[in-house]
Amino acid sequence: MASGLRIALLQLLAREKTANILQKAEQYISEAANNGAKLAILPELFTTECHPPIFVQKKESIPEGETSKFISHLAKKHSMHIIAGSIAEEIKGSEKMKNTSAVFNPMGKLIGKYTKMHSFDVDMGENFSIHESDWFEHGNNTLSFETDECKIGVGICIDLRFPEVSRYYTEQGCLLHVYLGAFSQQKTGPAHWDVLLRARAIDNQVYVAACSPAADHTHHYVAWGHSAVVDPWGKIISQADGKETLIYADLDMNYLNRVRQQLPVEKIRRKDLYHLTYKW
């Protein structure tokens, strides 16, 4: 495997028609490819704002829908992997949807789908009440895939709060954990976003990349933005602010191996005393 990987995170606004959002994604992905990125990452629900009527209006099928077909085309055109954020995936015969990410390889082939495992069902007061399970069916499986540089695991938003998911990806050999997340500017973003990203990176001695929608104050729900990449020592090596933007990070797997050699957590871990059991 190669030792280095340049990744690009597209922190997009989602206020327009799907076609316009995809056009903006194309501009950023073309720029990223020209600058040497081999993996492009889009945000959670990047073609919709976080508002149920818009989910219903813009729901799509995967891979037959407009977004999947377009991202597949871009992956093939630029010979790169693309984690196509997540979209409101249509469930035939059901009023509910799935919050699903699709991954395309450099040949434009769909190599996997991941549906958000945990539902964000909370009542925090101050007019902050969200019940995702009213709209979305949760997923029951993980998704990881191989690249020339490393193996990558995928999660969505609140999945970041559960170290069991990240631990599983580490046990499967994933050196980059990717989260597509829309933490809120009002509550969870300022308080928890950076802390959780750094914790998952330090816990597992891996790179963590998290891609958020841009903050849009015209929306019912304002995302925090601040897409970021964290290295295996827990250092934030690239981060956006709240605006629409494109950020890069260069991942060095030799550095990751040095961190693990200097602080050999896996050798110290008491696997004879405890372990996790997975049902996926």
Q: Distance (Å, rounded) from C-alpha 105 to C-alpha 71?
A: 10
pLDDT tens, residue by residue, 80-106? 999 999 999 999 999 999 999 999 999
Q: Is 115 helix (H, G, I), strand (E, B) or coil?
A: strand
Which pLDDT score, from 0 to 100, does residue 50 have?
79
pLDDT tens, residue by residue, 253-279? 999 999 999 999 999 999 999 999 999
- In the predicted structure, residue 173 carries a pLDDT above the cut 80: yes
CB 206 within 8 A of CB 4: no
pLDDT tens, residue by residue, 115-136? 999 999 999 877 788 899 999 9
Which pLDDT score, from 0 to 100, does residue 271 have?
93
Q: Distance (Å, rounded) from C-alpha 260 to C-alpha 240?
A: 28
E strand residue ranges, 140-195: 144-146, 151-156, 174-180
Residue 238: pLDDT band (50, 70, 90) is very high
pLDDT tens, residue by residue, 190-203? 999 999 999 999 99
Positions marked active-site:
44, 116, 157
Phi, psi of 142 (to 5 degrees): -95, 175
Which pLDDT score, from 0 to 100, does residue 270 have?
96
CB 240 within 8 A of CB 226: yes
Which pLDDT score, from 0 to 100, does residue 222 have?
93
Q: Distance (Å, rounded) from C-alpha 275 to C-alpha 277?
A: 7
Cis bond upstream, residue 63 (ω within 30): yes
Residue 1: pLDDT band (50, 70, 90) is low
Q: Is 239 helix (H, G, I), strand (E, B) or coil?
A: strand
Q: Give, in order, the Cα–Cα distances in Å from 59 to each of 66, 100, 136.
A: 10, 11, 11
Q: How many CB atoms lie within 10 A of CB 57?
A: 11
Q: Distance (Å, rounded) from C-alpha 187 to C-alpha 194?
A: 13
